[in-house]
Amino acid sequence: MGTHRQTFALETKGEVQAIDITAKVTEVIRDSRLKEGIACVFTPGSTCALVTNEFEPGLMRADLPAVLERIAPTDAEYAHNQRGGDDNGHSHLRSAALGQSVSFPFGGGRPLLGTWQQVVFLELDVRPRSRQVVVQLVGE
């Protein structure tokens, strides 16, 4: 059993931005030389998220932001905003609902995802950010 970890950076534009990182994750898997195993993709941030879903413009640019707005509206009152002054309480709550990691099997040098499934990073904060994505692999 072996492990491999690699981190890569992303520069984001701000709320709500979806970035397809499937190619980068696939590159990490190939570079690892591990044949079969489990991948965990994680981002150390409290106002961003990772999901596996179809990276389609209608879904990522219209439907997802609309659903997130219903879950945690931008203009609602948040105690976090009163304390921190960032006006990003909704960003923290959206991130908490979606999560900062995804796990899936890999084999043959690639993620074993569904036909219409990609690994998607979501920037949920109110401003551009420099982000890190950690890919941790366990396999043989």
Shortest CA distance to 122 belongs to which of 133, 112, 113?
133
How does pLDDT run across 91-129, given as a tens digit for each residue?
999 999 999 999 999 999 999 999 999 999 999 999 999
- CA gap 29, 49 in Å, rounded: 21
Span 21-78, pLDDT tens digits? 999 999 999 999 999 999 999 999 999 999 999 999 999 999 999 999 999 999 999 9
> What is 2-139's CATH number?
2.60.120.460
Cα torsion through 54, 122, 43, 27, rounded to 10: 40
Report domain extents, the chain. Answer: 2-139
Which tokens belong to 19?
Answer: 């970035």
